[in-house]
Amino acid sequence: MKITLKLNENEKKNLSELSKSNMTLTMEMCYAYTQYYKLYNNNNNNIMNTNNIFHAHEYDKDDDYSYWFVLTRNLEFIDIGIPQNITKSDMIPLTYSEMIIDIIKTILKL
């Protein structure tokens, strides 16, 4: 089954990086993409087109955590709360997957 996406200019610009890789989009990927951009707030910190992140933005921050919505290079939508005082040695906990640790390192530039 094929579907046609009707994209505005901003959406075309955002997806242009992915289209270079001839990625086939699944329904889950399309859903994650649309959900991410429904919640996207351009007024906060943004990260785009890294090794593991297609697009990410900080949507909130308090004294203890910064909160990020992340759209991975595989168009997976992730919500991450990153402790404010985290260090490289804190990244060892088994509660984080390797992918999440890599994303946190990218966000924090560790």
17 pLDDT band, cuts 50/70/90, is low
Q: Encode pLDDT of 43-95 as tens digits.
A: 778 998 888 999 999 999 999 999 999 999 889 999 999 988 887 676 666 57
Q: Encode pLDDT of 28-41 as tens digits.
A: 888 898 888 888 87
How far is it, in rounded angstroms, from Cα 73 to Cα 92? 23
